[in-house]
Amino acid sequence: MQFARHVKWRSEKFGAVVFDTLNEKVFVTNKTVNGILDLLSDGLDEAAVSERLGEEYADADGDQIRSEVAVFLEDLRARGLLASDVEVER
């Protein structure tokens, strides 16, 4: 999974800052989301992200992790922050 070309992000002490340069919007996240963004930037897909978070947060319910990752990624898609399949092929 990749970010859209117009999306830039960077890690901070508190989490991450995501820049949507196309729509001139800035999003601030917590450390957990920063970890998800890190995994996405490494090219992991939704299942792999959920698996890694399950390993990191071993006390958490795996179904809840998968559900929350799916909701978060759908939000990124809805905001146009993830690359479409066409954009990735170029």
pLDDT-derived band at 89 (thresholds 50, 70, 90) equals very low
**What pLDDT digit, counting tens, does each position of 11-69 carry?**
999 999 999 999 999 999 999 999 999 999 999 999 999 999 999 998 999 999 999 99
Residues pairing with 19 in the sheet: 8, 26
Phi-psi region of 84 (alpha: psi -120 to 50; beta: other; left: phi over 0): beta
Model pTM score: 0.83
What is the predicted pLDDT for the residue at 37? 96
pLDDT given for residue 1 in this prediction? 86
Is residue 71 pLDDT above 50, yes or no?
yes
